[in-house]
Chains A and B, each alone.
Chain A
């Protein structure tokens, strides 16, 4: 079993839709949770970062962590074609462990 599991998609939604991306993790000791965004043929870039449980909002993006169920979510409101990318969840001890990524396509 991978330490971080993520549905690879692809996920295709119309512009303006609310997108929900999810991951599960296995180790209850994980405390830091991140979402990276990776555009085609580019390296991943940090999008959101949360510590422990709860929500964090940044513009149209909300990251949510539920430690009781070991569940990580990223919500995108009013999705735009420019949001089309692969989204990777990650968590860490001393090194980052990534999910396989969910490919998202937002069509006009």
Chain B
């Protein structure tokens, strides 16, 4: 049963600390998305990659967020320094680049205190 895998599932950290979230896309998928979900804003696209190259990161606060794909099986989202307003669920998703159906992971639940 192919699925997108995210770690950690839950993270509580203090303001100012670095947070790294990891994602393993479904094998064979060449497009990886990072979304952030909050009650107020819903699902917001932070960044996405195709064939490991960043295509759009306009939704990401550039001063503290960074996203990379070190290889085809790993995507990372880093927040440094973290702030309480970063508390949200961060979802990774992937697809084959056909632009329609995307498959979500279970999310990383981040709380910054």
Please, which residues of chain A bring their CB within 8 A of the CB of B106?
41-43
A6 vs B56: C-alpha distance when bound (angstroms) = 24
Which B residues are closer than 8 A to A by beta carbons? 4, 33, 35, 41-43, 45, 48, 55-56, 91, 93, 99-107
Residue tally, chain A, CB below 8 Å to B: 21
* A49 at interface by CB-CB < 8 Å: yes
A42 vs B100: C-alpha distance when bound (angstroms) = 20
B43 touches A95 (CB 8 A): no
A101 touches B56 (CB 8 A): no
A32 touches B45 (CB 8 A): no
Known: A41-B106, A88-B43, A97-B45. 7 other contacts (CB 8 A): A43-B4, A43-B105, A44-B104, A46-B102, A49-B100, A94-B99, A95-B45
Which A residues are closer than 8 A to B by beta carbons? 6, 32, 34, 41-46, 49, 88, 92-101
Q: How far is the CB of A83 from chain B (nearest CB, A)?
A: 19
Minimum-distance CB pairs A-B, first 3: A100-B42, A43-B104, A98-B43
